[in-house]
Each structure stands twice: as structure tokens, then as C-alpha cells.
Amino acid sequence: MAKEYLGEFEELVLTLVAALQEDAYGAAISEEIETKFKREVNLSAVHVTLYRLEDKGYIKSKMGGGTNERGGRRKRIFTITSAGMAMLRAMKETRLELWNMVPQLKMSGL
Amino acid sequence: MAVGKKNIGPPKWPLQFLRRICPEHLYEEIEGDLIQKFNRDVKNLGQRRAKKKLLWNTIRFLRPGIVLRNKFSFELIQLHMIWSYFKLAARGLVRYKMFSTINVLGLSVSMVACILILQYVRFEFSYDDFHRNAENIYRVATKVTLQNEVIVHETNTYDGISKALNTDYPEIKAATTVRGFNSDRTFIHYQDKNNKLVPLENFKAFDVDSIFFKVFSFPLLQGNSEVVLQDPYTALISETFSNNYFSGDAIGKSFQVYNGEETQHYKITGVLKDVPSNSHIKFDILTRSDPRTKNFWNNDVGFWDWGGQTYVLLADITLRGELENKLAQLALSKNGLKNNKDDYGQISTFELRPLGNIHLYSHLQEELETNGSSSLVYALIMLAIIILIMAWVNYINLSTAMSEEKIKSIGVRKVVGATRFSLVLQVLTESLLFNVLSVSLAVVSVHMLLPSFASFSGVPLTYGVLYDNTMLIGLLVFVLVSALMSGLYPAFVIASYYPVRALKGNLNTSRFALRKILVVFQFAAAISLIITTLVAYQQLSFMRDKELGININQVMIIKAMNFDKETWSDSEGGFTIDSTYSNKANLFKEGIRAQAGFLNATSLSHIPGQLPNWGTEFRAESIDPQKAYRLIAMGVDYDFLSTLQVKILAGRNFSHDFLSDRGNEGKRAVLINEAATKLLGFKTPQEAIHKHISTYWGADYEIIGVVNSFHQLSVKENVQPIYFILQPRALDYFAIHYQGRNATDAIEQARITWNNYFPDTPFNYFFLDEYFDQQYQYDRKFRDIVSLFSGLTIFIGCLGLFGLTSYSILKRTKEIGIRKVMGATASNIIALFTNDFMKLILIANAVALPLAYLGLKRWLESYAYKITLYWWLFVIPVILVLVIGVMTISLQILKVALKNPVNSLRSE
């Protein structure tokens, strides 16, 4: 586990898959990134990241329903696996640890 | 895949592109996401920007993270499919036997023709390319004009030229001059094992300078090309000569050369590999002597003395123009210095010709070897292309026709999901299989035909296209191109069938108009070639049958060694001759005449079929005294006219009774031919008799007789104006007219007589009619090749016709049965089928006839005497093709038409 490493964008996508739950598919995720983070992202980048995360076993997918807006094409709904959940948690904890090491007072003391 | 396309949705083609690159299992959701994004973009940004964004978003999917996900499955499918295409093609090959046979036969026959032609063409173009600096070597040729008329245009050039080139021109690396000599006029003796002097028979040799190997790179077996010819009186001989005469151990040995005047000894310093057959300079021996110091007139050699063939090696190809300018200036500055009286008023200029195109394009006087014919080469290339296209046409016609047969299977394949691309690939695989099969068959046939082809074309066996690696790659490319050419059209026709209509068996047949056009093309080609063959035959036999005005039949020619010692003396006004040799020649002629069966014998300087390289310019007082008229000169003896049956039109022949007939250089009696009388402005032959004509440089000749204008050269050329002078000394040839017995007896008889008088000189003979006929060798070759090819085109055309007919019969068997039941006769049914093809052949005629007429008219213009293009020359081929076509068709139909209709109707 310790060797596994997620890139910043991978982590972002993984977190969104966990957050969006039943609504986690390519177009929705990229829209979420664009609206929430005001960050330009290409659809293909999101898709490639999703497939990579799936290869690594952090998320799994199944085909969902289609809508008119999508010309009848079905969505691929991604859900986070427990391995993915553990990864997210581990990352969050290491980050917190690191954060705690930062001397907060010194900052305000200036 | 076809769900929900009702939306006024996104442009289709970006999504089609996506389909190409995206793995199947990911495609749907990605497409969905793209469409969803597009629809939102339309709301937010408008249609135009949304479309642009969609395009961009789609293209961005072309990235390894997507594309690589379908890599492995992709390859597996392709290999599997290609194997199945091959299986299908092979099954088709076996199943439709007639279709396959016709295609393979047509393709392989045309490929054999193409490979053989390629071999010949490549050989002709390869001339002299084996020299290391081949592309920088040029030959200097000479053009001599008098009053703006070209009187000499030949490969020889002057002594001064190569000297000047070697010293004064920095753009030239080296310039070498070669002078040919051979066993006709020179003796070479060598010492055999018993130290006896033995003559070399039939050799060709060149006297060269020490620079020879700086220009040329003929390969040496023994000796170093840098040093072998450095010393005067050294020599090189060919491998064959070294083996035949010196048992392979020639270095250090010597031989002696006797040219009638003096004997020189040469030491052998090297052995040459036999000269390649694609060299325009061919020899067995190279000698190097001292430069000559005295000329023909016994004066010191000057700039304007004839030397030999001169070749220069340029430092750089771009310097050619510069050198040409300098040669023009040289000619300008030196022309005034001509001091031989023969050259009076003549202007010489020099031309450069690249070594590589001497063989096909030069055609000057005094070529070292008969040049090839570039027009024959181009005609052959065209014929090869035509015949190949004919075979492709057959393939295209038959496979589109057969595709109607296979239409159900194509329909099923389409319904099951074959894409257009895979159908195209399948048809192309099939044509590749046919082509590979045909080319293999062709290669085997070429391999077997090669020996007879080599003797027919003169291309040596070792020069085979098949035994050359680069050519094998060429062959491979050729097969691929051929497969594409023959398969591409059928592939698209087949791939474009609509599945449902294909399954129902309905076809829109109007698209097969192309098939008709192709048939028209085939027959137009066949008809034009047959007409050409016929005209070529007619023209050649017309030329050979034409009255020459001189007898060449039953005439034997013996090469004489012209060994009179002659010395020019200005005080005597001509040559002084030591006449021991010519006395012997006269005795020989007397000896021949004394025998029964020999009618007469004469000696002459040039025989019919040779253009005399002599000539003098005359003034015609009656027309324009300032103008020069060039007459060709021939030296003859008293019996020339009677032996070769040339007629006297006015005046008299040379006679022993008039001592003045012999004359000297300043004053002579001459005979002229009728063409010369016209040129010099005499109205009738009688008018010319006893008139005096003067040469441009002042000699005075009296015309004593006029003879008919016989054809000195082939009938391709106009008759030349000639004057004849009496030369009692020995000349270059003896002509003997024999009669009343077969040729072998005459040869034996002549040989015995010859050996009595000239025991040391080899007896070299040939027959004048055969020699004369050699002038037609390219015409004969052309005729033979065209007739062979017209046979091939008609064969391939009929193969196609045969295939198409048998297919349409197959399809219409029932129809024929019904027609017969209704009362149609066999001839009705034949007419039913032949009508369509007849129409096509008639259209082919309409295309071919004008083209053939114009083309042949132009071709015939190159002949001085030509046949008229009579109407029957065109009608016969048309009838011939119609008959062959109808026979091809009706032979098959007859079988069906005579059958009991019950049988054809019952079959289901």
C-alpha cells in the first residue's frame, strides 16, 4: 500500500467518484470539476484517468441508463471500491499529519 | 448503434472518427458523454462553437490511454481475416475453373511478354554504363559542312582535337583517341608453341594512347590499368584470346602487326576481361603505338588530319556547355587553317554526345558498331503496356461479371457485418492470388524461353532480369501494382452492392457500361496492331522486291587485303603504285573468269549496302558555278558494270583502249549515275557525255558515260548521286557473279582459286544479297515483334470475349430454352448473343481505323519509297477480327443452341 501513489488529478477524480455516488460518470465529473474548481479540463483526460483508476482497482464500473440529452447512449457509472476508499483515507491522513507538522504559530507570529 | 439518431444532433463524422480509434467496449459511453457535452455547449455557446468544441474533444481522445486499449484484439482479427480471405480466394479459384484459367492464362502470357521486353529494354539502356565515370564521358563527333550543307557527320575526329583537349582545357580530366583496325586489312602473327608464326583470325582491335584507362574502365584480369599502356608498343588482349592463342599465359609474350606497309612488334602487358556485350566499343586487342608523324599526303601530321574516335572525361557534368562553347571557338579559329586541297571551303564543327546514349541515339557515319533503335525500344515499351492493360481488362471484366454470380454470398457477408473495407480487402486478396500465380507461371516460362529469346534479341543470357536481386524486388512491386490495377475496380463495385438488393439478386446492370468500354479498347488495340502488322509486312516485301537497278543475287563477295604500296607524289600528280599486289589481283580475277559457272569478277571499293565514305564536291557550270554539289565516289575496275549488271544509259564504259581513262588526281575520266546528271543540271544522260566537270578544288574530270541510278543503300533511302573512277589497283572487295550451280560449289571453287593466288591471305567471303538484306534487320525485327504482339492481343482479347460469353450463356440458359420452345432457330440464338459483341467490335473499328491510318502514315514517311495505304489493308484486319470474334462467341453458343430445350429448362 505504501508504494501506491496517486497523482493530484487522479486523487481529484477519485474523490469526485466517491462524492457523486450514483451520478459518477465521465461527463458529470468533468462538469463538476469545471464548475466547482473553475478548472478547464478535457473530457478525454477525465476518461483516461477513470480507466486508469479502474485498472488499479480503486473504482469499478457498470453500465447505467441513457438519456435523451446523450442521444440515447448509456452512461458508465463508476463507484469507489473499498481499496479506493482506503487509499483516499490514507492519503487524507498522511496529509493531515504533514499539516500538523507545520508550525502554525510561527505563521501568525510574524 | 442506430438508436436515437433523430436528434438534430452533433455532426457525424467526428464520431465516426472516434469509432475508428476507440475500443468497442468504451465507445458507447464516450460517445454519450461527447453528445451530452455537445448539447450543453449548444445551450451555452451556440451551435457553431459547440461543433468546434465537439471536434476538438473528439480528437483529444486520440491518445495512448484510449487507443492502446484496443491494440491486441485488433491484430488478432486482421490476421485471422486475411487467412480467411485467402481461403475464400483459393476456393473461388478452384470452383470457377474457366474463369480462373482465362485470367491466369491472360495475365501470365502478358507478364511473360512484359518481362522479356523489360529485359531487352534494360539491356539497350544499359549500354556503356559499366565505366566508373560513365556519366561524365562524352564522345566528340565531327560535322563538316560545305555551303551550309552537311557533307560529313561522323564519329571520327581530327588529330589536333585530342591534342588540344589534353593540353588546353582545364575542364577535361582526360581525352583519349582510339583507332580501330581489324583482320580485314591487317595481319597479326604470333609465335605458337613450336615457335612458328601463326596468323590470328577474325580479330577486332584498337590502337589507343596511354590515357585510355584514365577515361574508360574496362576490367583487367592481369596487369595494372595504371601502367599497362605506358610504354609504346605494348598491348592488351582479351581473356578468350589469351586462352585460345597463348594457353592463358600471355603476359610478356609478343605478336607482330603488319598493315601492308610495315611490321611492328607489340609486347603483351595485360589481359582484359572479355568486353561486355553492352559496350559500344568491342575489341579483342588493344595496342599502343607511337603517335603517327606522316599523313596520307606524306606531309607532317597537322591539326586537320583525321584521327580516330575521341572520348573525353569531364571533371564535372556541369562543364559540358562550357566545353561545347570552347570547341565551337576552336573550330572557328582553326577552320581557316585547313590546307589539304580536299578540304577546300569546308567548315568543321564538333559535337559532344554522352557515352550512355551513343548506342540508341547517335546514328552517325562510321559508328564503331551498328546502333540500336530507340524507336524500336519505345514501341516495345508501349506494346508491353498495352498488352498488360489488356490482361487487366480481362480480369476486371470477368471478375465484375462473376461478382453477379457471387452476389448472394456478398449480401450475406454484408448482413452479417462485413464492412466495405473488408470486402474490398477480400477482392484485392483474390486478385493478389491470381497475380502471384500468374507471375510464378510467367517466371517459369521466361526461364524456359530465355535461351531462344537470347538468340532472337541478342541480349546475352547472363543479363537475365530474373537473376538480379534488385529486379526481383521490382518484380514484387510489379505484382502488387498489377494486383491493384486488376482488383481495385472490381473491389469497389462489389463493396458497393446494397445488402438487401444483393440478397434479392437484383442488380442495376447499367453500371457495366465500363465493361463495354474496356472491350472496345481491347479490340481497338488488336485491330490497330493487326493493321500495323499487315502494313509492315507489305512495306518490307515491297522494299525487298523493288528493282534495285543492280544485281545482288548469286553474287559472292570476297574481302581483299588492299596491300598495294602507294606513295603520294605531288610531282607525279597522284599516287605512285607498286603494283605487284594488283597484278596478282588481276590474275585472280582472270582465273575466276576462266572457270565454267563463274560469269564474271570485278573489284570495287564499296559494295551495295555500304555508304561510301568518299566523296568530292563539284561545280555545275550550267546552274551556278559558285555552288558545290557533292557526289559520292566509288572506285571500280573495267568489269564492274558487266559483273553487277548496271546499265549504261549513254556514252561508254571504261575501256582498256583508252589509256586516258586511268588518269590521275588532276585529270580523270569518270562515269556518273543518272541521279548525278540531274544534280549537275544535265537534262538528259546524252547531254552529259564528254562534258567536263571540275571539282571544287580544281581537278578536271570528263564524263564518259552515264549509268542507271541503282540503289547503293537500302530502299529506305533515296538514290544517291555517285561518280565512278577507274582504279586498276587492288580494291577492298572482289565481287564474283556465279551461276548454274549451288552456292557451296561456287565457294569451294573460289577458295581453291583464291589460295592459288593469295596463299597467305584468309579467304573471307559472304553473299551480297544477304549482306544487303542486313539493312532491313530492324525493320524485320519490328515486323516480327508487331505480328507476335498482334497475335497476343487478339488471343487475350478473345480469351476475354470467351469468358464473357460463356458467363452470359450460363445466366441465360433458361432464356435460350424458352426461346427455342417458342420456335427460335439456332441461328436466331447465335444472332441474339453476337449482336451485342458485334456492336462493340464495330465501335472498336471506328476508334482504331483513323488512329491506325494516321499513325502508319507518319511511320511510312520515314521511308523514301513506300507503299500506298490501300483500303484493303484496313478492311482485311476488320473482317479478320469480326470472324475471329464471331467464331469465339458462336462456338460456345452453338453447343447450347443445339441442345434440347427440355434439358436446360428442367435444370434447377
Digit-coded pLDDT (tens) for B557-568: 998 876 666 666
Our CA-based measurement puts residue A29 at a distance from the nearest CA of chain B, in whole angstroms, of 10
Which amino acid, B398?
Answer: L
| Rounded distance between C-alpha atoms, residue B291 and residue B760, angstroms | 29
Pairs across A and B, CB distance < 8 A: 81
C-alpha cell at A35: 464548475
Q: Are B188 and B354 in contact (CB under 8 A)?
A: no
pLDDT of residue B3: 40
Q: Range of A41's domain?
A: 8-109
CB atoms within 10 A of CB B650: 18
CB–CB contact B4 A51 (8 Å): no
Cα B338 to Cα B57, B137, B146, B666, distances in angstroms: 86, 28, 13, 20
Count: domains in chain A: 1
The beta-carbon neighbor of B65 closest among A30, A52, A75 is A52
SS3 content of chain B, % helix, strand, coil (to 5): 55, 20, 30
Q: What is the pLDDT of residue B2?
A: 40
Query: What percent of chain A clears pLDDT 90, i.e. is strictly above it?
Result: 27
CA distance A48 to chain B (A): 6
- What ipTM was predicted for this assembly? 0.87
The pLDDT value recorded for residue B283 is: 95
Q: Positive or negative CA dihedral for B786, B792, B795, B797?
A: negative
Which residue out of B26, B35, B66 would a mutagenesis test of the A interface target, given it has the greatest number of A Cβ atoms within 10 Å? B35
A1: pLDDT confidence band, cut at 50, 70 and 90? Answer: very low
Asked if the Cβ–Cβ distance from A26 to B29 is below 8 Å, we say: yes
Torsion angle, alpha carbons of B317, B318, B322, B325, to 10: 70
Give long-range contacts, CB 8 A cutoff, 24+ apart: B17-25.
Answer: B17/B58, B17/B59, B18/B58, B18/B61, B21/B61, B21/B62, B21/B66, B21/B67, B22/B61, B22/B66, B22/B67, B22/B70, B23/B66, B23/B69, B23/B70, B23/B73, B24/B70
| Angle formed at CA B47 by CA B42 and CA B48, multiple of 5 degrees | 130
How far apart (Å, rounded) are the C-alpha atoms in residues B760 and B840? 71
Nearest in space to B489 (alpha carbons), one of B605, B391, B396:
B396
Q: Out of B28, B29, B61, name the one closest to residue A44 (CB).
A: B61
**Low pLDDT (below 50) residues in chain B:** 1-7, 73-74
Query: For strand B172-182 and strand B306-314, is the pairing parallel, antiparallel, or unpaired?
Result: antiparallel
pTM greater than the 0.95 cutoff: no
pLDDT given at position B576: 65
Tracing cell 558545290 back to the chain, one arrives at B628
User: Cβ–Cβ of A67/B30 closer than 8 Å?
Assistant: no
A7 CB within 8 Å of a chain B CB: no
CA angle B672, B677, B681 (to 5 degrees): 150
Contacts of B34 in chain A (CB under 8 A): 43
Q: Which chain A residues touch B69 with a CB distance below 8 Å?
A: 51
Distance CA B371, CA B877 (A): 33
- In the 3-class helix/strand/coil scheme, how is B38-89 assigned residue by residue? HHHHHHHHCHHHHHHHHHHHHHCCCCHHHHHHHHHHHHHHHHHHHHHHHHHH
Interface contact B7-A26, CB threshold 8 A: no
DSSP per-residue codes, B824-847: --HHHHHHHHHHHHHHHHHHHHHH
Task: Inspect the interface and report whether the beta carbons of A69 and B60 lie closer than 8 Å.
Answer: no
Angstroms from A43 CA to nearest CA on chain B: 7
- A1 domain residue, yes or no: no
Residues in contact with B439: Cβ distance below 8 Å, sequence separation at least 6, in sequence order:
B107, B108, B111, B475, B478, B479, B482
Q: At what angle do helices B420-457 and B97-125 cross, to 10 degrees?
A: 50
Decide if B625 contacts B693 (C-beta within 8 A).
no
B28 chain-A contacts, CB cut-off 8 A: 63, 73-74
SS3 state at A93: helix
Residue A71: which CATH number? 1.10.10.10
Interface subset of A 23-52, CB within 8 angstroms of B: 25-27, 30-31, 42-45, 47-48, 51-52
Are residues B485 and B395 in contact, defined by beta-carbon separation less than 8 angstroms? no
The one-letter code for the residue type at B555 is: V
- In chain B, residues with a C-beta closer than 8 Å to the C-beta of A43 are 33-34, 37, 57, 60-61
Taking the alpha carbons of A38, A43, A44, A47 in that order, is the dihedral positive or negative?
A: positive
d(CA B397, CA B393): 6
CB contact under 8 A, B57 and A74: no
Q: How far is B5 from chain A (nearest CA, A)?
A: 7
The pLDDT > 70 percentage for chain B reads 92
Q: Using an 8 Å Cβ cutoff, are B875 and B812 in contact?
A: no
A2 lies in a domain?
no
**DSSP for residue A82:** H
The residue among B176, B368, B370 whose CA lies nearest residue B283 is B368
SS3 B740: coil
